[in-house]
Amino acid sequence: MNTLGEIGEHAAIERLAATLGTHPDLRTGAGDDCAVALLPGTETDQVFTTDPVIENVHFLPTDQPERIGNKAVGRVLSDIAAMGAQPQWILVNVVAPLKQEVGALEKIYDGINALCRRFGATLIGGDLAQGTCLELHVFGTGTLPAGTALLRSGAKVGDAIFTTGPLGGSIAGKHLDFIPRIEEGIFLRESGRVHAMMDISDGLATDLRHILQASGGGALLEADAIPKNGTLENALYDGEDFELLFTAAQENAEALQAHWTEKFGPHLSIIGRVTDHPNELCIQMLDGTVRIVEDKAFEHFKPKMGGTNNE
């Protein structure tokens, strides 16, 4: 059990995360969508995140460059949305082979800049180096009022579990074209009613487990309440939906749904509730039976598309 191939992504990240530093201004380091730190001398927190987007892992050489750019910066903006923060600065490290068309790189940057502009983020720098295939390493910061970041760790037993949109089937195109839920994330933070939040990048089953591990409860999902693109299997495991997954007290659920519809139109789905069975993730099927949701987490170093995590 010594190589990445043997222990897998999550075990390796845990070992590396154990080495990370501490600081009095640092509120949250490893283990959430972004790191969160107080901006000294202000009442503002700053969030930090980074995501790689790699050819033949996160996109194909035949994908349109503007869409590759949208995905590269969209993943970072989605992490910022998951904290309820306003995006701020973006930097991009590009790795590319000699044969890379510069015109295609410019189109990737067009995609990055278009999504940045839409959400008030600004691309301010980066670097370019030679490698064997195209990679984009995107770094982003955001801001929000001090102490208000929505973490994975706040879910409470009895909470309703929500998702902001349909899950599954992102491979058909949404994994490139998704729009990060920035406005929705800020709205949810400002509502003061959300207990825990993250974005769905590794699939509902895996990401809900992250919330449960951080918060200490279990969950019972309702199969027919989950908005789906495709089958239940798709909704649970496909990943790269980049919708927000969050919990709030059952008593506030209706008001939250009503305000949501006022502001964003479509229905806000309640897909289950937090139970007092630690780390037990179950689902009630259409026929009323309850099953355990299998743990089939996507991990890098296993052959499949996708995946994102702050260490």
Residues from 99 through 128 that contact its own copies (CB under 8 A): 99-103, 105-106, 109-110, 113, 116-117, 121-128
Question: Site for its own copies (CB under 8 A): which residue of 63, 139, 229, 257?
Answer: 139
Q: Which stretch binds its own copies (CB under 8 A): 60-68, 133-141, 167-175, 242-250?
A: 133-141
- The sign one gets for the Cα dihedral 154, 158, 160, 161 is positive
CA distance 306 to 308: 7
Contact, 140 vs 90, CB < 8 A?
yes
Question: Site for its own copies (CB under 8 A): which residue of 135, 184, 207, 243?
Answer: 135
Question: If 0-12 CB within 10 Å is exposed, 13-18 middle and 19+ buried, where does residue 21 land?
Answer: exposed
The torsion of the CA quartet 126, 132, 133, 135, rounded to 10 degrees, works out to -30
Question: Site for its own copies (CB under 8 A): which residue of 62, 98, 262, 286?
Answer: 98
Question: Site for its own copies (CB under 8 A): which residue of 96, 167, 220, 235?
Answer: 96
Cβ at position 157, least distance to its own copies in Å? 29
Nearer to its own copies, 130 or 289 (CB): 130
Identify the three-state secondary structure at position 232. Answer: helix
Residue 61 binding its own copies, by CB under 8 A: no
Residue 97 binding its own copies, by CB under 8 A: yes
Q: In 196-309, where does DSSP find H-type helix?
A: 204-215, 232-237, 250-264
Residue 148 binding its own copies, by CB under 8 A: no
Residue 284: name the closest of 216, 232, 210, 212 by CA. 232
Q: Which residues contact 43 (CB under 8 A, 6 or more apart)?
A: 145, 146
CA distance 152 to 31: 8
Nearer to its own copies, 95 or 155 (CB): 95
- Judging by DSSP bridges, how do beta strands 86-96 and 122-130 pair with one another? parallel
Q: Considering only residues 36-55, where is the footprint of its own copies by CB under 8 A?
A: 37, 39-42, 44, 48-52, 54
Q: Considering only residues 178-237, where is the footprint of its own copies by CB under 8 A?
A: none
Q: Considering only residues 292-311, where is the footprint of its own copies by CB under 8 A?
A: 300-301, 307-311
Residue 60 binding its own copies, by CB under 8 A: no
Question: Site for its own copies (CB under 8 A): which residue of 73, 95, 160, 220?
Answer: 95
Nearer to its own copies, 76 or 293 (CB): 76
Q: Considering only residues 63-92, where is the footprint of its own copies by CB under 8 A?
A: 89, 91-92
Residue 289 binding its own copies, by CB under 8 A: no
Residues in the interface with its own copies (CB under 8 A) total 78
Q: Please name the helix (run of DSSP H) or strand (run of DSSP E) that holds residue 188, with its range, or none.
A: helix 182-191
Identify the three-state secondary structure at position 278. Answer: coil
Q: Which stretch binds its own copies (CB under 8 A): 30-38, 155-163, 240-248, 290-298?
A: 30-38
Query: Could you write out the DSSP letters of every residue in 249-270?
Result: -HHHHHHHHHHHHHHH-SPPEE
Residue 151 binding its own copies, by CB under 8 A: no
